[in-house]
Amino acid sequence: MPFVSVRITRDGVTSEQKAQVIAEITETLERVLKKDPHLTHIVIEEVDTDNWGYAGISTTKYRKQLAEAEGKS
């Protein structure tokens, strides 16, 4: 029974996009590893950007700094 955990930041991902990710991961496991889709579990965890760190700071702060830097260009 395959179990796949996918973690993404919570920011604008639609239900349709998540459904596509689930379908395509399931299809890949079936095609490559011959795993039964009825026994395959995919979990998508959405993490708030305040709780996701990147480059020593939260993703929220990182994106804010990036937007400010792009505004100065």
Q: Which of 2, 9, 42, 63 is catalytic?
A: 2
* Positions of E strands within 1-73: 3-9, 41-47, 53-54, 57-58
> Cα dist. 42→35, 49, 52 in Å?
13, 22, 21
The pLDDT mean for the chain works out to 95
- pTM as predicted: 0.83
The residue ranking higher by pLDDT, 68 or 72, is 68
35-67 pLDDT, tens digit per residue, is 999 999 999 999 999 999 988 999 999 999 999
CA distance 39 to 50: 34
Domains (range + CATH), the chain: 1-69 (3.30.429.10)
- Catalytic residue check, 37: no
Q: What is the pLDDT of residue 55?
A: 86
